[in-house]
Amino acid sequence: MKPLALHPENPHYFLFRNDPTILLTSAEHYGGVLNMDFDYTRYFKELESKGLNMTRIFSGAYVEDPKAFNITENTLAPKPERFIAPWARSSIPGYANGGNKFDLNRWDDAYFRRLKDFIREAGKRGVVVEYTLFCPYYEDSMWALSPLNAKNNVNGIGDVPRTEVLTLKHSDLVAVQERFVRKAVEELNAFDNLYFEICNEPYFGGVTMEWQKRIAETVTEAESKLPNRHLLAQNIANGSQEIEDPFPEVSVFNFHYAHPPKAVALNYDLNRVIADDETGFRGQADFLYRSEAWEFLLAGGGAYNNLDYSFTVDHPEGTFRYPSTQPGGGSPDLRRQLQILKDFIYGFDFIRMRPDPSFIKAGVPEGGAVQALAEPGRAYAIYLKGGTQAELTLELPEDTYRAEWWDTKTGKLEKNADFRTQNTSGGKGSARIASPTYTEDIALRIVALR
Each residue's pLDDT tens digit, 360-384? 999 999 999 999 999 999 999 999 9
> Digits of tens for pLDDT over the chain (450 positions)?
899 999 999 999 999 999 999 999 999 999 999 999 999 999 999 999 999 999 999 999 999 999 999 999 999 999 999 999 999 999 999 999 999 999 999 999 999 999 999 999 999 999 999 999 999 999 999 999 999 999 999 999 999 999 999 999 999 999 999 999 999 999 999 999 999 999 999 999 999 999 999 999 999 999 999 999 999 999 999 999 999 999 999 999 999 999 999 999 999 999 999 999 999 999 999 999 999 999 999 999 999 999 999 999 999 999 999 999 999 999 999 999 999 999 999 999 999 999 999 999 999 999 999 999 999 999 999 999 999 999 999 999 999 999 999 999 999 999 999 999 987 666 688 999 999 999 999 999 999 997
β-pairing verdict for 23-27 and 87-93: unpaired
Residue 71 and residue 22 in one domain: yes
Domain boundary among 299, 331, 351: 351
Q: How far apart are CA 419 and CA 446, in angstroms?
A: 10
| Phi then psi dihedrals of residue 368, to 5 deg | -90, 180
The amino acid that residue 197 corresponds to is E
224 exposure class (CB count in 10 Å sphere: 0-12, 13-18, 19+):
exposed
Residue 274 and residue 376 in one domain: no
Task: Compute the half-sphere exposure of residue 185: CA atoms within 13 Å on the CB side of its CA.
Answer: 27
Cβ 355 vs Cβ 268: under 8 Å: yes
Cβ 89 vs Cβ 104: under 8 Å: no
Residue 219 and residue 145 in one domain: yes
Residue 324 and residue 375 in one domain: no
Q: What is the pLDDT of residue 423?
A: 76
Residue 402 and residue 299 in one domain: no
Cβ 101 vs Cβ 152: under 8 Å: yes
Domain boundary among 351, 367, 398: 351
CATH at residue 263: 3.20.20.80
Residue 78 and residue 211 in one domain: yes
Residue 113 and residue 191 in one domain: yes
Q: What is the pLDDT of residue 426?
A: 67
Residue 415 and residue 285 in one domain: no
| Phi then psi dihedrals of residue 104, to 5 deg | -75, -5
Q: How far apart are CA 334 and CA 324, in angstroms?
A: 17
Q: How far apart are CA 10 and CA 355, in angstroms?
A: 12
Residue 78 and residue 32 in one domain: yes
Residue 307 and residue 437 in one domain: no
Residue 165 and residue 208 in one domain: yes
**Domain count of the fold of the chain:** 2
Strand order in the sheet with 232-238: 23-27, 303-307, 273-279, 252-256, 232-238, 194-199, 128-134, 54-58
CATH at residue 366: 2.60.120
Secondary structure E strands in 229-299: 232-238, 252-256, 273-279
Q: Which domain holds residue 432?
A: 356-448
Dihedral sign (CA 257, 262, 266, 272): positive
Q: How far apart are CA 212 and CA 277, in angstroms?
A: 18
Q: How far apart are CA 365 and CA 54, in angstroms?
A: 34
Domain boundary among 335, 351, 367: 351
Residue 186 and residue 158 in one domain: yes
